[in-house]
Amino acid sequence: MAEERVNFGSKIGVILATAGSAVGLGNIWRFPYMTGENGGAAFILIYVACVFILGIPCMIGEFLIGRHGASNTARAYTRLAKGSNWRWIGYLEVLTGFLITGYYAVVSGWCLNYIYASIMGELKGDPAYITSYFTAFSNDPIRPVFWTIVIFGITHFIIVHGVRNGIEKASKLMMPTLFILLLVIVVAACLLPGATKGIDFLFKPDFSKVTRDVFLGALGQCFYSLSIGMGCLCTYASYFSRQTNIKTSAIQIGLIDLLVAILAGLMIFPAAFSVGISPDSGPSLIFITLPNVFNQAFLSIPVIGWGVALLFYALLSLAALTSLISLHEVNTVFFYEELHITRKAGAWIVTIACCLIGAICSISIGQKSSMSLFGMDLFDLFDFVTGQLMLPICGLLMCLFVGWVIPKQIVKDELSNWGTLRFSFYKLFLFTMRFVCPLCILAIMLHQFHLI
Ligand code: PHE
């Protein structure tokens, strides 16, 4: 079975495609803000520790399940669980991926609209105008749905071309472009007058701000940013060849994700501080605060001024698209393998179903009063249920599964292939999956519900 499966064609394809899944909106709309608010360089140090102590081991765990299972996430777990109830983790991961896809696509669609708006000059105006533009747009029943369908169209197109000709090729093109765009905007932002204040804010370590909340925040961000617990890593790993070194790949992907997050900070803070606007996080950062920053910081620069906003939304759309592709793939491969249909048919099921979920989420924002559950509109509800509930639960179960259930020989084989496995590394990995990661994830969950 492992031999029959399509593989990524090259090492760089493995890294870029998987890093594409990890690098997404989380790197740009959340990490910079959390860093600035939580002690600058002190937060970065904690985050780096989280990535190495927890994030990378969890990635390795998902990779080894995926490569050994050599099939969709649900079946990979089923194979390893040998009939026990542990197999349900795979289904839960696929379901989480499915639910997140629709809502992630809505925000990705917003990014596309903002590309269009910056080309058409619709984003020029005072802060009140920018806020009302965003409110009017996100509450509109039609336009966001249109853009959600457009982004699904692009994703669908890439997915139906398969693993090598679709996902790998697209990632090889999009990820380097993303880096170039990011670097161009970072340079433009850092050259602005007064930019050093922003750089200081981002990097000046302030250990007095480091509290328990900061630790838990860094942990949660690390899981989300590395796409852990949603079947994406497991699915992509099922396309790794036997030659792929799981350990080094996980380290490289973790570092790329971290680099993009820090560069995003170097793009946002210098620009914001140079015009005296204090940045916040989430949708309001990228769709309200930043258009204002761009207007005030760059618009006076002749010729290139208006282009910075355009480049920024292009960057954001690329980051979102590569993550969306990985989410789509988790479900596509699930449907086509489990229902024994073609890849194309599987992709259509996902595209249509997720377009519907996306449309409902999007419309619910404008219809808060009539379409809400537990006091949240469906958009926020999806965000909460998937991001804060299902994701940590899947992550926790995955660690326990790798640490306690999978036969040790399989873990050893997967880790040692194409490289000697040092005994100390294996023991450390097992200890992390058995105790360290589960306890940390449990702490994040209890903290989210204000229980600690
Ligand atoms: N890692 C992505 C980000 O940083 C989010 C994501 C999570 C994407 C899980 C796919 C799967 O935005």
- Supply the CATH number for residue 263's domain: 1.10.4160.10
In the Cβ-directed half-sphere of 5, how many Cα atoms lie within 13 Å?
21
pLDDT confidence tier of residue 3, bands split at 50, 70 and 90: very low
Residue 439 covered by a domain: yes
Q: If you take atom 11 of ligand 1, which residue's CA is the nearest one?
A: 227
**What pLDDT score does 438 carry?**
96
The separation between CA 93 and the C-alpha centre of its own chain, rounded to angstroms, equals 15
Residue 52 covered by a domain: yes
Q: In whole numbers, what is the pLDDT of the chain averaged over residues?
A: 90
pLDDT confidence tier of residue 1, bands split at 50, 70 and 90: very low
pLDDT confidence tier of residue 206, bands split at 50, 70 and 90: confident
23 C-alpha vs ligand 1 centroid, how far in Å?
7
Residue 299 covered by a domain: yes
* Least confident residue range of 163-167, 274-278, 443-447, 448-452: 448-452
264 against 374, higher pLDDT: 264
Pocket probe mutation, ligand 1, options 103, 104, 322, max atoms within 8 Å of Cβ? 104
**What pLDDT score does 371 carry?**
65
Residue 3 covered by a domain: no
Q: How many CB atoms lie within 10 A of CB 255?
A: 15
Give me the mean pLDDT over the 151-172 stretch. 97
**For ligand 1, is residue 108 a contact (CB within 6 Å)?**
no
Q: Helix, strand, or coil here: 56?
A: helix
**For ligand 1, is residue 270 a contact (CB within 6 Å)?**
no
Burial 57-88 (b: 16+ CB within 10 A, else e): bbbbbbbbbbbbbbbbbbbbbbbbbeeeebbe
Residue 1 covered by a domain: no
Answer yes or no: are the C-beta atoms of 242 and 164 closer than 8 Å: no
End-to-end CA distance of the chain: 46
The alpha carbon torsion through 212, 215, 221, 226 (nearest 10 deg) reads -150
Give me the mean pLDDT over the 152-163 stretch. 97
**For ligand 1, is residue 327 a contact (CB within 6 Å)?**
yes
Q: What is the DSSP letter of 120?
A: T
pLDDT confidence tier of residue 39, bands split at 50, 70 and 90: confident
Number of compact structural domains in the chain: 1
**For ligand 1, is residue 73 a contact (CB within 6 Å)?**
no
Give the range of the structural domain holding residue 125, as residue numbers without chain letter: 11-449
pTM metric for this prediction = 0.93
Residue 4 covered by a domain: no
Cβ neighbors of 437 (< 8 A, separation 6 or more) are 54, 57, 58, 395, 396, 399, 403
303 against 379, higher pLDDT: 379
Residue 80 covered by a domain: yes
Residue 31: name the closest of 220, 314, 227, 308 by CA: 220
Give me the mean pLDDT over the 264-292 stretch. 87
pLDDT confidence tier of residue 45, bands split at 50, 70 and 90: very high
**For ligand 1, is residue 390 a contact (CB within 6 Å)?**
no
**Tokens 């080894």, located at residue:** 64
**For ligand 1, is residue 96 a contact (CB within 6 Å)?**
no
25 C-alpha vs ligand 1 centroid, how far in Å?
7
The packing angle between helices 437-448 and 391-400, to 10°, is 160
Residue 217 covered by a domain: yes
Q: If you take atom 6 of ligand 1, which residue's CA is the nearest one?
A: 227
**What pLDDT score does 302 carry?**
61
